[in-house]
Amino acid sequence: MITDRWQKSSYCQEGDACVHISTDPDGVHLTDTARTIVTVTPVAFTALLDHLKSL
């Protein structure tokens, strides 16, 4: 898993309340400030983004 190219969300709150995203050929990795890492497929990540945009 690649963890050297984390991108910070553009919708972060003040302080450490942020989601960071990293990608590699196998998936999309999401982490919070506690460094809990969740890995999903690109298809699942796209579905998540589509759902969040519809709210």
The tens digit of pLDDT for each residue in 8-44 reads 888 777 766 788 889 888 899 988 876 778 999 999 9
Tokens matching residue 19: 């989601």
Give the phi and the psi of residue 33 in degrees, each rounded to 5: -70, -20
Within a domain: residue 15?
yes
Distance CA 54, CA 34 (A): 28
pLDDT at 3: 57
pLDDT at 39: 92
pLDDT at residue 55 is higher than 70: yes
State the pTM of this model: 0.71
| Domain-located, residue 1 | no
What pLDDT score was predicted for residue 16? 67
Whether residue 20 contacts residue 9, with contact meaning beta carbons closer than 8 Å, is answered with yes
**Residues of the domain holding 12:** 7-54
Q: How far is CA 54 from the centre of its chain?
A: 18
* Structural domains of the chain, count: 1
Question: Which residue do the tokens 């302080």 mark?
Answer: 15
